[in-house]
Structures are given as C-alpha cells and as structure tokens.
Amino acid sequence: MAHIRPFRGVRPIPEMISRVASPPYDVLSSEEARERAKGNPYSFLHVIKPEIDLEPSIDLHDPIVYETAGKNFHELRKKKILIQDKRPCFYIYKLKMGSHQQTGVVAVASVEDYVENRIKKHEHTRPDKEEDRMNHIRSLMAQTGPVFLTYRYNGEIDLLIEEAVEKKPVYEFTGDHDVVHTLYIVDSDELIQKIKKSFEGVDALYVADGHHRSAAAVRVCDLLKKENPNHTGEEEYNYFLCVIFPDNQMQILDYNRVVRDLNGLSERDFLKKISANFDVKPYERGGPYRPDAIHKFGMYLGGRWYVMEARDGSFDSDDPVESLDVAILQNNLLSPVLGINNPRTDKRIEFVGGIRGMEELERLVNSGDFAVAFSMYPTGIAQLLSVADAGKVMPPKSTWFEPKLASGVVVHMLE
C-alpha cells in the first residue's frame, strides 16, 4: 500500500515560470550553472546551486553555501515570485520529449513507507551526498528536488490523470533539449481523494532517480522529530516531495563509459584480453555503434568502432544484477582488464549520459584525454524493478532517465 498525500505547493507565479524553472542541481557543474543564471536573478539555480553567488573558490559544503540557498529562496518568496497554494493539492506533471510523453502525479510520499521498504530502492547512497542534501533541506525548511518514483502500471490511476488534465494547465514551458513541461493543479476534493485511494491499491513504489534526496528526507525527518516534543506523525517533514510515473511511460537512455587509459596494454593486447569474455568484431558501417539489444556493447578504440557481444556463460543470466549489461562490462572487462575495481571512486573512468549522443564518446577519445569508450544498451525498467524487488542494488551509473524534471516548478515546505 502506497501512502501519498496532497500538499500546499510553493511555486512560481505563471508569468515567471520560464525564468524561474531550471535544470536539476546534479546535471550542471557550478561553472555551467553560473553561466546559465547570469543576468537572471529569478533562476532557481540561485537556490539549488547557491555557490554561483559566491566566490568560485568556495567549498561547496561550506555553511555559507546553504545559508545563501535559504536567503535566495526566501527572497523569491518575499518578492512574491514564488507563491504558496492556499490548500493542499496534487499536481499533474507532463513531460514531452520528441515523440515520448509521460504524465505523473506530483505529491508527497511517506518517509515511513521508505523506511519500511514499501518504497523500494536499487542504489546505495553515499553519506556525504546525503549530508549535502540534508543541509540544503534544513537551510530552506523545504524540499526543492522531487524524487522520481515509479510504479507498475495501474489503469485506474491513468483514468484519474486523464480526468485531471481536462482543465487548463497552470504552466506550459519548454526547457532543455526542447522538452515541453506542463503542470496542472488538482484541487477538487473528490478527485484528490480518488487519486489518494487509488495509490493505496499500489503494492509498492520504486525510486527511479533521487536516492540521495529521499535518504536525506529520512534524516531530516529524524532530526525534526527529535526537536518536536509534540510530534504526531502528520507533520510535513514526515513526507517528501516526489513525482510518480507509471513504469510503462518511463524512458531510460544509455549510460555510457569512457576510460582514460588501457591499463598499460597495447591496443592489440587489450583486444586479445577482452576476447576471452566478448565476441569482438569491427563495426563494418564505420560510424558510431549504438547497441540494439541486451548483452551487446559498442567500443570506440583507436579511431574505429567495434561491436562486442558477451559470450554465453560469461555471466549469471539468472541473477537480476549480474545479468545487467553494466555489471557484465564491469565484471568481465573494466575490473579484470582495465583495473577499475571501484567505478564510484576511480578517477580513470567517467560516465556519459546518452542524451549527449555517440558523437560525444568519439570526441572524448579523439581529444586524447581518454583511450576507449563503451556505448551501452539502456537498462530496462523491468530490470530495475526486478533488482529492487530482490532487495539488491545496481552497479553505479546504471540508469539515465530522460526527460528530466525541472527544478523550481513545485516546492514542498516542511513548516
């Protein structure tokens, strides 16, 4: 049973949405964010990347960074650029990217459900990143970054969403990569109760993207609970901001890898070593190779593309984690051949989201900064659910969800 509820969202006045809404905090570097926000004091980047208003040398975890986030957020509210809805609402968030479209419910989900694993996870979190998100939430007493949740398709919920989007949207704007963002307010008591009750029939929710945000929400809840002698369990800090999409609408793109060197091997010796676990052939068409099936990989090495296919018996096909392509590449090539045993911390490997294209892999290798690139077949949403249901975790950088939600569209206050 999934427990979600409506909330009094803080959001931009309609005429300012295009100036306020920004990419999420974790898709831009500080330098990119500083450039994007230049000349726009209303950009939500001033709230989620507050270091852009400080000296470039500042430590990103310095208390002044979080203080600046809180100051900038409250300034937007003071100037009435951000307003708060007078009553608790659900919101419907529609994303359209080319021919792909997905529509989900903006709500707050239960921290208790997360702790009790009714909201299932598929990634480990890092304490330092949790701490960063926790400090950010506390500086604002608000959650600005929605957690991206999914659930197995439910026709009843789809029908209720269709009813909700019959009215005029409150926002419609175009963001990065020509993604059209549309938001509707659900303020009908009857429809709110129907949506809430329908989600109670959902067996489980799954974190698709936002493990650190949800884990930070739990830590903030624990802290505020201890500080509140009159805690009831109904306070806003017992819930966290999320957008919930059905699994049949989710789009996962490839999450590719580039490595700086061949671990002391010549190209010839490298190709010989990887042939133990992969069938490797030059890509005859010459151009970039984007894998067209699971267990197939592209490799760009020495100015040419190769097609690699995992050999039968080189991985456990019955294990939901070991059978993932990202695990196969890690276990059979990156670790034993290239010596990258911990891709979370090894500086020799970097990860490239599929939204940047195959040409970006070529560019990185051709620049001389990297020796080899690997293009991946996207992890499937069914694979993600299977890993979470098994109580296991995926290797790092297994999924790249597109389109991304914008930040600053709806904020959840904790007080």
Residue 286 has pLDDT above 80, yes or no: no
Q: For residue 208, give every residue at least 6 positions away whose Cβ sits within 8 Å of its Cβ, in sequence order, or none.
A: 148, 149, 150, 245, 250, 381, 384, 399, 401
pLDDT above 70 covers a percentage of the chain that reads 100
Distance in angstroms (rounded) separating the CA atoms of residues 3 and 178: 34
The predicted model gives 215-220 an average pLDDT of 97
Look up the pTM and report it. Answer: 0.92
Q: Exposure of 101 by Cβ count < 10 A (0-12 exposed, 13-18 middle, 19+ buried)?
A: middle
**What would the pLDDT profile of 243-273 be if each residue is shown by its tens digit?**
999 999 999 999 999 999 999 999 999 999 9
**What would the pLDDT profile of 89-138 be if each residue is shown by its tens digit?**
999 999 999 999 999 999 999 999 999 999 999 988 889 999 999 999 99
For tokens 């490595």, name the residue. 259
Q: How far is Cα of residue 167 from the mean position of the Cα atoms in its chain?
A: 29
DSSP string, 11-32: EE-GGGHHHH-B--TTSS-HHH
Which range has the worst mean pLDDT, 232-241, 321-330, 390-399?
390-399
Q: How far is CA 47 from CA 67, 74, 158, in A?
A: 10, 9, 33
Tokens of 172: 């419609």
Tokens of 148: 């991206």
Complete domains list, the chain, with CATH: 4-251+403-413 (no CATH), 255-377 (3.30.1760)
pLDDT band at 330 (very low <50, low <70, confident <90, very high): very high
pLDDT band at 27 (very low <50, low <70, confident <90, very high): confident
pLDDT band at 380 (very low <50, low <70, confident <90, very high): very high
Residue 6 has pLDDT above 80, yes or no: yes
Q: For the chain, what is the mean pLDDT?
A: 96
Distance in angstroms (rounded) separating the CA atoms of residues 106 and 211: 17
Residue 287 has pLDDT above 90, yes or no: no
Q: What pLDDT does 285 receive? A: 87
Residue 29 has pLDDT above 80, yes or no: yes
pLDDT band at 288 (very low <50, low <70, confident <90, very high): very high
Q: What pLDDT does 115 receive? A: 96
DSSP string, 146-167: -EEEEE---HHHHHHHHHHTTS
Distance in angstroms (rounded) separating the CA atoms of residues 409 and 33: 17
Q: What pLDDT does 168 receive? A: 96
Q: What pLDDT does 110 receive? A: 97
Residue 355 has pLDDT above 90, yes or no: no
Q: What pLDDT does 1 receive? A: 81
